[in-house]
Structure 1
Amino acid sequence: MSDTTVLPFTVDISDADLEDLRRRLSTTRWPDNETCEDWSQGIPLAYTQELAGYWAREYDWRRCEAELNRWPQFRTRLDGIDIHFLHCRSPHADALPLIISHGWPGSVLEFRHIIDALVDPVAHGGSAADAFHVVIPSLPGYGFSGKPTGTGTSVERIGRMWGELMARLGYSRYVAQGGDWGSMITQSIGQTETDHCAGIHITMPIVTPDPETMNDLTPNEQAALEAMTFYSQWDSGYSKQQSTRPQTLGYGLADSPVGQMAWVVEKFHAWTDCERDGIKHPEHVINRDELLDNVMLYWLNNTGASSARLYWESFNAPSMQPIAMPTGCSIFPKEIFRSSRRWAEQRFQNLIHWNELPQGGHFAALEQPDVLVNELRTCFRSLR
């Protein structure tokens, strides 16, 4: 592949790879049962065995493969790395180009329920005036993208790569959206791609709580600080490992499909708005096929270590530089890091959209797809 070629891409996993997965699942060596009654020690043994059994005997990868191949997919080389992406053009000629970035432990499949509504709003209860041409790349080291072979692939570098991608696709003016690492990449786009990106939308604004507000906190701000404390004390072990020793972690994730599954699915329990009748369970909001589809993009491409390296590159020193680009924020109540508007205004100098939603968590496009579509339409309407 030359440095500028854009080639069509089709997902085509071999039967041998699928048979190897089933063989590995059948020979799993299980740990002891947890000694608590909930998920506080991690994903429970009984549920892990149930999900692994379903994966081995009932799950249908070919269904997911067909869904992926329903959307136009491509690969192109950006800054020396082959990048896989979905490129779904709207039937409406005046559609606004939009690049969407996922994070960890997500994938391009996070956006499976919003793509069609963004591309063809008329067919989904909307107006042609809200149409988008949608570009969704797999991050370097994730999914069907290539893996960096050296250091330096930070969120800032990825943001510049996405600017190059949009230029290569012929989009001289576009907007950007993201959650998790995608939020940080999108915020980086807001700093470096100012000649061509007209605005950004994020679900996890990275800001510092304003010290001037500490004696006058709102209930939502107090709850946000409590959530940050909980994350630091009880929910951040994965990030410490991935940001310091991703290679060591990678051996287990590369060798054990159950290990990879547990590493990912536990976060869908922790970070989704999935409590129903006092019981938290990820399948309350995301069905098990969708959970396993996402896991498969890690397992089939052996990206346990390569995806974790983004933490080693970027987790410990996030940019807090001001952003002057028009910015929209949608704050879901079970997001990991939440901001208040007055905290956000300290960093985002042109806040064009702010909304605090009543339901939803970290994986907004999967949990509340209709809500997120409406948020994006509303946010970017003034920039068309």
Structure 2
Amino acid sequence: MQRLQVFKGTFCSLDAVQRQLLIGSAVAAGGILVAYIVHRRRQVQSIPLGEGWWGAGEKPLSEDDKIYPFKVQTSDKEIEDLHERIERTRYTDPLEDSCFQYGFNSTYLKKVVSYWRHEFDWKKQVAVLNKYQHFKTKIEGLDVHFIHVRPPHRENQKVLPLMLVHGWPGSFYEFYKILPLLTENQDGVLFEVICPSIPGYGFSEAPHKQGFDSLAAARIFLTLMERLGFSEFYLQGGDWGSLITTNMAQMKPQ
């Protein structure tokens, strides 16, 4: 407050010309600051690509870069084992009138578990998952899983490559309902869609080394797109997928 009063007194003691010069200087300085901030925001904040190895054991001299078909499978033995473990579930009584304020309500949980045990058709779901083509390829020591959906060939049809990256908790499956809209549109642009599983999620191998982060996932997915023959492509991600795709754009902004 004292500094403000001193400034006010000093300003009032200036003549008209001096006041105009002071105001003009302040406006000019403010304009330069705003222009600098806008310029900085427009600059692409790139980050180094880096390198990594997340497989088990020592890094080999070379890595198999082939892409292999993959099919989701389950067996009667696996389903029976799951049913047995579901039936052995032990419940605690919920707090009275608590609903979900203190975690998942165990009364409702019993209904969910009963559905998984007696109603859910696991083999039918496997068939649903295999609706699209699945693949795996080794990148930085990990088996990376992805689905690759190509639109039907049409003359003079523009097709854009698009990678969709899920988040947590999530998987490649959350994109299944939108894939027909992206790949089977009769008018306008079609997309060739790649949906990978983040390492440690779905059918992608989990890292065997400490320190795996969004930068490592971004680098792996860039390698995947290059391996598929794409140098330029579109990206979309939600949750962790948003950070991963942002890192991808920062690693290769052009």
Q: Identify whether the pair has TM-score above 0.5, normalized to the shorter chain.
A: yes
Using the alignment, how far apart are the partners of 1:106 and 1:13 within structure 2? 20
Corresponding residue for residue 179 of structure 2: 115
**1:35 Cα offset (Å):** 3.4
Q: What are structure 1's unaligned runs of at least 5 residues?
A: 196-384
Q: Give the Cα–Cα distance (whole angstroms) in 1 for the partners of residues 103 and 92 of structure 2.
A: 12
Q: What SS does the corresponding residue of 1:70 show, helix, strand or coil?
A: coil
Tell me the amino acid that sits aligned with residue 37 of structure 1: S
Name the counterpart of 1:12: 73
1:154 & 1:3 partners in 2: Cα distance?
Answer: 23
Structure 1 position 38, deviation (Å): 2.2
- Are residues 1:50 and 2:111 paired? yes
Tell me what 2:217 maps to.
Answer: 158
Contact 1:2-1:77 at 8 Å conserved across structures: yes
Alignment of 1:263-342 (within 5 A): none
Return the alpha-carbon distance in structure 2 between the equivalents of residues 46 and 30 of structure 1: 9
1:14 Cα deviation from its structure 2 partner: 1.7
Q: TM-score, normalised by structure 2?
A: 0.72
Residues 190 and 35 (structure 1), Cα distance of their counterparts in 2 relative to 1, 3 Å cut: farther
Using CA pairs under 8 Å that are at least 6 residues apart, name the structure with larger relative contact order, 1 or 2: 2
1:69 aligns with: 130
Q: Structure 2 residue aligned with 1:85, among 128, 146, 151?
A: 146
1:25-57 superposed Cα distances (whole Å, 9 cap, x missing partner): 111111121334321111111211001001001
Residue 252 of structure 2 corresponds to which residue in structure 1?
Answer: 193
SS in 2 for 1:121: coil
Whole-angstrom distance in 2 between the partners of 1:130 and 1:40: 46
8 Å CA contact retained: 1:73, 1:84: yes
Please say if 1:135 is aligned against 2:199: no
Residues 354-384 of structure 1: CA deviation (Å, up to 9, x unaligned): xxxxxxxxxxxxxxxxxxxxxxxxxxxxxxx
Note the C-alpha offset of 1:70.
1.1
Compare CA radii of gyration and give the structure with the larger one.
2
The runs of at least 4 aligned residues of structure 1 exceeding 3 Å deviation read: none
Partner residue in 1 for 2:234:
175
* CA drift at 1:178: 0.5
Are 1:26 and 2:81 an aligned pair? no
> Which residue identity lines up with residue 161 of structure 2 in the other structure?
P
Root mean square deviation of aligned Cα? 1.5
Number of residue pairs the alignment of both structures matches: 190
Q: Which amino acid aligns with 1:138?
A: S
Indicate the SS of the match to 2:152.
coil
Q: Is the 8 A contact 1:95 1:130 kept in 2?
A: yes
What are the ranges of 5 or more consecutive residues in structure 2 without an aligned counterpart? 1-61
Q: Is the contact made by 1:3 and 1:80 (CA closer than 8 Å) also made in structure 2? A: no
Partner of 1:101: 165
Identical residues among aligned pairs (%): 39
Q: How far apart are residue 98 of structure 1 and its match?
A: 0.4
Q: Contact (CA 8 Å) 2:70, 2:135: kept in 1 or not?
A: yes
Query: Take 1:82 and 1:34, find their aligned partners in 2: how far apart are those partners?
Result: 44
Which structure shows the higher helix fraction? Answer: 1
**Residue identity matched to 1:140:** P
Letter in 2 for 1:120: E
Contact 1:34 1:45 in 2 (8 A): no
**Greater Cα shift, 77-86 or 36-45:** 36-45
Alpha-carbon distance, 1:2 to partner = 4.9
Matched AA of 1:50 = K
Q: Give 1:190 shift.
A: 1.8
C-alpha contact (below 8 Å) 2:182/2:191 kept by paired residues: yes
Instruction: Please give the alpha-carbon distance, in whole angstroms, between the structure 2 residues aligned to 1:170 and 1:120.
Output: 22
